[in-house]
């Protein structure tokens, strides 16, 4: 993709304001933690890996802005930033994972000088940034191997460059397959209520010249009935130890329809999206969004004032509906519990 979603520029964070897409490609320069927290909460930056990098850069920002020489005071500020950012979005485990990576690094050299802690955190944040790029390329290669030439593919939400540093997971597999010369056609769920599919995935696919068709979320089952679909591929926000997968609301419906029609259903995600501490999906915390995103999304009232709303941002697809999970180290197949416990041990 010709865009980098998030970057560290000298002493601050620069990211694409995704709420402005597809009308305008606008970059935000972020110099303080409350502004970063607002950007994460309001989905200016979104997608599990991208918010992980945003959070890591938030810890780095705190270290860069600390002007004193007291290590304990700096560690306390880093801790507060980390706690504060961890609360911005509860489901995507990459956020907490990245914060923990940064804090572990700071704690590892806690007796060092302020300048040393700042240097170490800078290197760690750059490592996480670079590693996201490489991890996505590897997911892309493993995923592309499952995509046949001529494939008709359904995807949900946005899992592309905009959801990571610059390539993507599920959409990254599609980009890699396309780069290999395969002819593809992608059916894109618009992804209610915030339209990440319509606004962001269509924008990315059209940029890349990959044939794509937008459809309302409630169209997929009918499409599967009428047209040969080869596979569905989606991302993940948190995967439990048994393979149950939290992803954008509507993913579970898609998986059910795919199972009914005998269509392979793939999840693509980095190892940082696995929560090895959870046995199963009902333990994953699910973010509830502001009712106004449903009743007057994008500034137009579409339900009566005062209408009761239920708006979970994610659902959980049970592992038995998932054909395989594509990671940077290879493709996991059922039984997922065994495959994931080997992954946890680094085998
Ligand atoms: O609410 P969002 O837009 O952050 O939700 C994003 C998703 O559900 C993605 O599918 C997931 O984070 C994987 S991104 C590679």
Catalytic residue among 237, 244, 275, 315: 237
**Atom of ligand 1 at shortest range from CA of 196:** 3
Cβ distance 23 to 205 under 8 Å? no
Which residue shows structure tokens 């004032």?
305
48 lines ligand 1 (CB under 6 A): yes
238 lines ligand 1 (CB under 6 A): no
159 lines ligand 1 (CB under 6 A): yes
pLDDT recorded at residue 261: 98
Asked if the 142-344 domain carries CATH number 3.40.50.10470, the reply is yes
Class of domain 6-137: mainly alpha
* Distance in Å, CA 237 to ligand 1 centroid: 6
Best probe residue, ligand 1, of 53, 160, 236, 311 (max atoms within 8 Å of C-beta):
236
Instruction: Provide the mean pLDDT of the chain.
Output: 97
**Atom of ligand 1 at shortest range from CA of 92:** 12
For ligand 1, atom 8, name the residue with the nearest CA: 248
Cβ distance 173 to 268 under 8 Å? yes
pLDDT recorded at residue 3: 84
DSSP strands (E only) in the chain: 6-9, 12-16, 27-30, 152-155, 185-189, 212-215, 231-234, 238-239, 245-248, 265-268, 314-317, 324-327, 330-332
- Pick from 33, 96, 94: nearest CA to 61: 33
pLDDT recorded at residue 342: 96
- Pick from 129, 154, 186, 160: nearest CA to 18: 160
235 lines ligand 1 (CB under 6 A): yes
* Distance in Å, CA 91 to ligand 1 centroid: 10
* Distance in Å, CA 298 to ligand 1 centroid: 19
5 lines ligand 1 (CB under 6 A): no
pLDDT recorded at residue 111: 85
Best probe residue, ligand 1, of 88, 238, 247, 269 (max atoms within 8 Å of C-beta):
247
pLDDT in tens, 175-203: 999 999 999 999 999 999 999 999 999 99
Q: Lay out the sheet containing 314-317: strands in order across.
A: 238-239, 245-248, 314-317
Q: What is the residue extent of each domain of the chain?
A: 6-137, 142-344
- Residue 2 clears pLDDT 70, i.e. is over it: no
This prediction's pTM: 0.97
143 lines ligand 1 (CB under 6 A): no
Cβ within 8 Å of residue 305, ≥6 positions away = 295
* Distance in Å, CA 118 to ligand 1 centroid: 30
Distance CA 337, CA 341 (A): 6
* Distance in Å, CA 90 to ligand 1 centroid: 12
pLDDT recorded at residue 187: 98
Q: Lay out the sheet containing 330-332: strands in order across.
A: 212-215, 185-189, 152-155, 231-234, 265-268, 324-327, 330-332
pLDDT in tens, 67-123: 999 999 999 999 999 999 999 999 999 999 999 999 999 999 978 999 999 999 999
**Is position 17 annotated as part of the catalytic site?**
no
**Atom of ligand 1 at shortest range from CA of 51:** 4
pLDDT recorded at residue 171: 98
326 lines ligand 1 (CB under 6 A): no
Same fold, 6-137 and 142-344: no
pLDDT in tens, 233-285: 999 999 999 999 999 999 999 999 999 999 999 999 999 999 999 999 999 99
């Amino acid at each position: 993709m010709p865009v980098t979603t998030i970057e560290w520029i000298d002493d601050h964070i620069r990211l694409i304001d995704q709420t402005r897409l597809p009308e305008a490609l606008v970059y935000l320069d972020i110099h303080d933690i409350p502004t970063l927290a607002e950007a994460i909460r309001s989905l200016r930056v979104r997608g599990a890996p991208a918010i992980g990098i945003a959070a890591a850069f938030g810890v780095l920002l705190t270290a860069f802005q600390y002007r004193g020489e007291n290590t304990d005071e700096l560690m306390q500020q880093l801790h507060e930033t980390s706690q504060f950012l961890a609360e911005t979005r509860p489901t995507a485990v990459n956020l907490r994972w990245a914060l923990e990576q940064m804090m572990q690094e700071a704690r590892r050299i806690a007796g060092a000088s302020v300048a040393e802690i700042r240097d170490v955190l800078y290197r760690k944040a750059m490592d996480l940034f670079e590693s996201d790029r490489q991890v996505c390329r590897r997911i892309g290669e493993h995923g592309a191997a499952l995509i046949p030439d001529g494939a008709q593919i359904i995807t949900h939400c946005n899992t592309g460059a905009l959801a990571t540093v610059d390539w993507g997971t599920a959409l990254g597999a599609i980009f890699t397959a396309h780069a290999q010369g395969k002819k593809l056609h992608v059916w894109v769920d618009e992804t209610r209520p915030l339209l990440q599919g319509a606004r962001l995935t269509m924008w990315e696919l059209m940029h890349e010249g990959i044939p794509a068709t937008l459809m309302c979320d409630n169209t997929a089952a009918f499409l599967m009935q009428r047209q040969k679909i080869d596979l569905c591929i989606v991302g993940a926000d948190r995967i439990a130890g048994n393979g149950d997968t939290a992803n954008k609301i509507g993913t579970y419906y898609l998986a059910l329809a795919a199972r009914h029609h005998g269509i392979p259903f793939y999840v693509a995600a980095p190892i940082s999206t696995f929560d090895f501490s959870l046995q199963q999906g009902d333990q994953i915390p699910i973010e509830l969004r502001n009712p106004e995103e449903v009743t007057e999304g994008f500034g137009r009232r579409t339900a009566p004032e005062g209408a009761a709303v239920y708006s979970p941002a994610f659902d959980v697809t049970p592992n038995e509906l998932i054909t395989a999970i594509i990671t940077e180290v290879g493709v996991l197949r059922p039984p997922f519990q065994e495959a994931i416990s080997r992954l946890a041990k680094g085998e």
